[in-house]
Amino acid sequence: MKNITAGVHMNERIPVNPGEVEWAGDNPGIYLRDSVDGPWTGLGIFFHVVYSNYGRGQTMIVLGAPNESLGYPQANNICMTNNRPLTDYLIRDFISKFPSFKGQSGLDAMTRMDVESHVSEGDMMESWSETMTSQGVEMRMQWQQLGQPFAVEVTPETCATGEHDMYSVFLEAKQGGISVNGKDLTGKVTDRLFFGKQMSTAFLAISETWVKPAE
Amino acid sequence: MPLKNPLHPGTVVWTGENPGILLKDDPDGPFTSIALFFRIFYSPVGRGTVLLLLQKPNEAVTLPTAANVVITDNKALGEYLLETFIGKLPAFATLPGCQSAQIEMMTEGYPEGDPRSCYKEIVRTANLDVELVWDGLGKPVALELPAELTGGKENELYSLLVESTRPQIIVNGEQLPGKPVERVQAGIKTTTAFLYFSETWIHPA
């Protein structure tokens, strides 16, 4: 929280965040590229929201051509959801501010579909997957070789949106992939620096709570 | 910022959801009906759903006399939570009904509703049809509690609290007796009926 300085003793942490809860749930992602320094060639992000001002719901966004202003079937830039108002809110206030998605023209051009089926599979010890289908299109995100979970607690200074406090549990996936209609997107999972820790660009982020700090 | 580094140095024990309903006939008396629900996404013994249901918390009985049971789809998880979590909560540890509760395998379980207005967890076994209802819901509050402010006093906690003022525990169509009472958590006046989402227990480094 903003009103506590860095490095204070753990006992001095404020137990009740005075800010306004935006949403809570899961928010795993997979970001693919051909080389560590190259542009993203494939982006996938999934939301399972259990609480928000726009209700509960699930959303999967896959950008097979992140920097192309094209929708499906010209490009695999697709969004599936069971709650469109929630998805609009997540895109406007969160996803479009995430560094990997910011300025990606595929995010504006992606084709939106109402999800017809959704399956989560795995144990979160070794692997996990999310699969959504709609209008004959199947999108699948897979996380493999999962590591041990660790808790993360960020402030606006370090948060992906630059605006929130956020609590989360991360599990790194050494391998991961995104497919559309059974065909893998190009690119591979690479390493990135995550708060000083080398970490894969495929990750589960679960039990998140995003809080707008008090003024 | 409360931590030097955003990466918490502790070890995640388990993470998931942990809503509950504890009811009393008399605000100064013992709890008369208890339901503590767990939807676990990650734990050392895997994922699953667990419901501790105590229809008669103060009696050392179980089915068919009373529904003092642990309903689960992961027996190892049910046993793990009983030993490492529920058994360390002062409100539960000494209850005769908790000690006599037998494990029942869940046949169906799912949430219903919206935690902004009215939310439910439905849990079924071969013999029990349980409906937990949280109505009269308040505004959500994000908690980050040090170990000393938690029931077990061993682990730190992240959680999202939504209080309920009109809860119900319904077993095979019958509403269990009692009402929620006031409690104080981390200085907040709240009730003994609560939703806890995005809950993570962390063993301090």
Total number of residues shown for chain B: 205
- Specify the DSSP class assigned to residue A68: S
State how far the alpha carbon of B201 is from the alpha carbons of A46, A143, A169, B6, in Å: 24, 23, 10, 16
Q: What is the pLDDT of residues A73-96, one digit of tens each?
A: 999 999 999 999 999 999 999 999
CB contact under 8 A, A1 and B198: no
Residue with tokens 């079924």, as numbered in its chain: B124
Rounded distance between C-alpha atoms, residue A1 and residue A150, angstroms: 20
**pLDDT < 50 regions, chain A:** 1-11
**Distance of residue A200 Cα from the nearest chain B Cα, in angstroms:** 15
Residue ranges of the domains in chain B?
Answer: 11-203
* Of the candidates A158, A105, A116, A166, the residue with the CA atom closest to the CA atom of residue A139: A116
Rounded distance between C-alpha atoms, residue A176 and residue B133, angstroms: 39
Residue ranges of the domains in chain A?
Answer: 22-212
CB contact under 8 A, B15 and A206: yes
- Chain A residue numbers with beta carbons less than 8 Å from the beta carbon of B2 are 1, 4, 8, 10, 12-14, 153
Q: What tokens does A182 get?
A: 């059974």
Degrees, nearest 5: CA angle B181-B106-A82: 80
List average pLDDT for each run of 10 residues in chain B, which is 205 residues long: 78 98 96 97 97 98 97 98 91 91 97 98 98 98 94 93 98 98 94 98 95
What is the pLDDT, as a whole number, of residue A196?
82
User: Is this prediction's pTM over 0.90?
Assistant: yes
- Give kind and range of the element (H or E) at residue A109: helix A105-109
- Chain A residue numbers with beta carbons less than 8 Å from the beta carbon of B205 are none
What is the pLDDT, as a whole number, of residue B3?
67
- Chain B residue numbers with beta carbons less than 8 Å from the beta carbon of A171 are 42
Degrees, nearest 5: CA angle B85-B90-B92: 70
Q: Please, how many CA atoms are within 13 Å of residue A158, restricted to the half-sphere of its CB? A: 20
Rounded distance between C-alpha atoms, residue B42 and residue B12, angstroms: 9
Rounded distance between C-alpha atoms, residue B180 and residue B166, angstroms: 8
Residue with tokens 């005769």, as numbered in its chain: B96
CB contact under 8 A, B115 and A50: yes
**Distance of residue A74 Cα from the nearest chain B Cα, in angstroms:** 37
Q: Which residue of A has its CA nearest to B187?
A: A16
Rounded distance between C-alpha atoms, residue A120 and residue B198, angstroms: 18
Rounded distance between C-alpha atoms, residue B96 and residue B109, angstroms: 26
* Of the candidates A10, A102, A44, the residue with the CA atom closest to the CA atom of residue B155: A10
Full 3-state SS string of chain B: CCCCCCECCCEEEEEEECCEEEEECCCCCCEEEEEEEEEEEECCCCCEEEEEEECCCCCCCCCCCCCEEEEECCHHHHHHHHHHCHHHCHHHHCCHHHHHCEEEECCEEEEEEECCCEEEEEEECCCCEEEEEEEEECCCEEEEECHHHCCCCCCEEEEEEEEEEEEEEEECCEECCCECCEEEECCEEEECEEEEEEEEEEECC
Total number of residues shown for chain A: 215
What is the pLDDT, as a whole number, of residue B89?
86
CB B44 within 8 Å of CB B80: yes
What is the pLDDT, as a whole number, of residue B1?
40
Full 3-state SS string of A137-198: EEEEEEEEEECCCEEEEECCCCCCCCCCEEEEEEEEEEEEEEEECCEECCCEECEEEECCEE
